[in-house]
Amino acid sequence: MHNLAIEELAYPEKAIDAQKHLQDLATYPEDPVPLHKQHIYLLAPPTESPLDITTTIHDAINKEIHVPQRPGCIAIGQTGEICKLTDSLVIKHPKSQARRPTTNSAAKFLDTERQIYERLGSHAGILPYFGPHDDTGAIQLAYAQQGDLAAYIQSRSDPSLPPQALRKTWIETLIRAFHHIYSCRVLHQDVKLSNILVHDDVPKVADFANGAIFPTEKDMELVYERDPLSRVDLLGIDCVMYSVATWQVFEYDYFENGR
């Protein structure tokens, strides 16, 4: 792999490691773009006006590409780009790559997420969904301005724990949310603190891009027996509940070090 030098980054402290990101992008079998022409993403801070940020990458043979970031971008995940539309609404776009607006795999992930949100409907413990945004596969979601659960806990760890009654209410809300999710024949498959968002002082399950949706008549007990990711979901739920109960960030990566 070429050694990359990253220049002119508007927010260098937010840049994703280039070498690792290029390795990740190389796993897309349908993408013919050579590694040295792939790009990295910047995570820009929220802004009231559209962003016009360009990432410039020079590779070992001094080729250069410019990849514009979407206006209003506030976060970028493995499959989607989150852009602020209003103070209460964000758009989740399929993740872009160099030379093409979206990848087929990113669009498929987001289509699965759309189907899951539509199956789940409105629920107190699930991030509100407001339908498709356009024909690219982008979807509209509530803007959870209080951030994810890990950041929320860390920012409110001093001087004392929140009242026990509040933590109990949050745990009950999340239990009901996950019960609803699995009752609807859906697996989340990526339960972690960063996918629990705090919206209007209530925890909300979010990010179903890695999820799976099954026919409504499916025998889910068989799925739970055969699908290892359903058991990983239980581990993730345990970590979330423990973090809320103790008000400490606790995470355990089931796949780390080949476990």
Which of 138, 17, 118, 21 is CA-nearest to residue 73?
138
pLDDT by residue, tens only, the chain of 259 residues = 333 333 333 333 333 443 444 344 444 334 333 333 333 333 334 444 444 444 443 443 444 445 567 889 998 888 899 999 999 999 999 987 544 555 578 889 999 999 999 999 999 999 999 999 998 899 999 999 999 999 999 988 766 788 999 999 999 999 999 999 999 999 999 999 999 999 999 999 999 999 999 999 999 888 888 887 788 899 999 999 999 999 999 988 776 666 5
Q: What angle do CA 116, 178, 146 make, to 5 degrees?
A: 85
Q: What angle do CA 218, 224, 226 make, to 5 degrees?
A: 100
Domain residue limits, the chain: 5-142, 149-258
**Do 190 and 130 touch, CB atoms closer than 8 A?**
no
The pTM assigned to this predicted structure is: 0.72
Distance CA 15, CA 57 (A): 12
Give the class (CATH, top level) of 149-258. mainly alpha
Residue for token pair 């990432």 = 55
